[in-house]
Amino acid sequence: MTNKKSFFREATEAEIKHKNLVKIAELSDIAGLGENDFTILSPLTPRGYESARKFMKHGPEVKPKRYYSSEQALRDGRTPIQLREEAFDGIEKYFYCGYTFLPIGRDRRKRKVSLVECLEGARIYAYSHQVRGAEIIIKPYADAKRVRIDGAEIVCKVPSRTEKQGKINFKLISVPVVDCPEKHSVSLNIGSDHSCNSKRFNIRYKYTDDKEGSGIVNVCAHEIAAYLQVIEHYWNEKNIIPLQMCQFAIPSQKTVDFYLRLGNNVLVRDETLKSEDKLRKMDRADREIALWSRVKKDKHDATFYSKRSRDGDVAEYKWR
Ligand SMILES: [Zn+2]
């Protein structure tokens, strides 16, 4: 079994069972659990999906307003953050597997971002700042002629969450770094040459004609962590464009606290399990749905908009 680095470690099922059992009325009450409390939920994945994996692949998506040409994006003029605010504040339920956006460049595969990956990306970024030797290293290749239209290419080295694993290398492409009309289309085309388990999800569909599967790129925590470092890098040069045009939702400290409760203070009673007590930890889909329930209740700005005056620096967030 591979061990997670201590920064990423969560309470085990056995450890959680030793805490004080508390009953809660609704999902949002998870936020009020003390460090030594735990609660038991029913599985959150709605009926009709045979597994958490299927739900994460085919469940409903939140869709910020879409554009089908750069002219259209430009005419509207709103930034990705504003579009997310509109979409997140408008949700009427919370059974979602993530939010999606459509590029308007050559690679038109739909980009899918789950809130769990946004949290994990923020966690890797905080880790890289709070633990010596874990820095995220980025090297932008911003060729002045092409960068306006194609965005910057940025080579990234991101630490792994697994013990004794070296840094992960990849390249982010189409990173918006220039304040020009093309920044809208550049940011929608954000991509990378990275591959890992969180992204691999759909790979087996590449060779079949499953339209959904072949048309989706799952954004993972490594890419989000790297992008946060890109924001910081350009911010230090007084360039706010990567932040302004960021396609990834950045959690508030309160959302981080809630997410930590999901991993450390909640068990799920799952009747399909063979074990006697039928308890397990929350799976990916449970966590994703719980996060969306938070968004539905507290809205975008309180949950997935990091405000320096309220939250401090994302790099300094408390994850333990
Ligand atoms: Zn990854």
* Predicted model pTM: 0.94
How many Å lie between the centroid of ligand 1 and the Cα of residue 113? 12
Is beta strand 37-41 parallel, antiparallel or unpaired with respect to 266-269?
A: parallel
Quick one: 75 exposed, middle or buried, by C-beta within 10 A (0-12, 13-18, 19+)? exposed
How many Å lie between the centroid of ligand 1 and the Cα of residue 157? 11
Question: For 81-101, how does the pLDDT look when each residue is reduced to its tens digit (9 = 90+)?
Answer: 999 999 999 999 999 999 999
Give the phi and the psi of residue 93 in degrees, each rounded to 5. Answer: -140, -170
How many Å lie between the centroid of ligand 1 and the Cα of residue 276? 35
87-101, 161-175, 194-208, 292-306 — which is least confidently predicted?
194-208
How many Å lie between the centroid of ligand 1 and the Cα of residue 195? 6
How many Å lie between the centroid of ligand 1 and the Cα of residue 206? 18
CA distances from 277 to 16, 269, 273 (A): 13, 8, 9
Please list, in sequence order, all residues whose beta carbon lies within 8 angstroms of the beta carbon of residue 166, skipping any fewer than 6 positions away: 160
Q: At what angle do helices 284-303 and 253-264 cross, to 10 degrees?
A: 160
Checking if the pLDDT of 13 tops 80, the result is yes
Half-sphere exposure of 83 (CA within 13 A, CB side): 24
Checking if the pLDDT of 205 tops 60, the result is no
CA distances from 305 to 10, 24, 117, 150 (A): 25, 27, 15, 27
How many Å lie between the centroid of ligand 1 and the Cα of residue 181? 30
pLDDT attached to residue 105: 79
Calculate the dihedral angle through the C-alpha atoms of 147, 148, 150, 151, rounding to the nearest 10 degrees.
Answer: 60
Query: Residue 208: pLDDT band by 50, 70, 90 thresholds?
Result: very low
How many Å lie between the centroid of ligand 1 and the Cα of residue 32? 32
How many Å lie between the centroid of ligand 1 and the Cα of residue 4? 15
How many Å lie between the centroid of ligand 1 and the Cα of residue 200? 9
How many Å lie between the centroid of ligand 1 and the Cα of residue 64? 23
How many Å lie between the centroid of ligand 1 and the Cα of residue 224? 9
SS3 77: coil
pLDDT attached to residue 273: 95
Checking if the pLDDT of 19 tops 70, the result is yes
Question: For 213-269, how does the pLDDT look when each residue is reduced to its tens digit (9 = 90+)?
Answer: 468 899 999 999 999 999 999 999 999 999 999 999 999 999 999 999 999 999 999
How many Å lie between the centroid of ligand 1 and the Cα of residue 287? 18
Question: For 279-288, how does the pLDDT look when each residue is reduced to its tens digit (9 = 90+)?
Answer: 999 999 999 9
How many Å lie between the centroid of ligand 1 and the Cα of residue 136? 14
How many Å lie between the centroid of ligand 1 and the Cα of residue 194? 7
SS3 162: strand
Tell me what percent of the residues of the chain surpass a pLDDT of 70: 94
Question: For 36-79, how does the pLDDT look when each residue is reduced to its tens digit (9 = 90+)?
Answer: 999 999 999 999 998 999 999 999 999 999 998 889 998 999 99
How many Å lie between the centroid of ligand 1 and the Cα of residue 169? 10
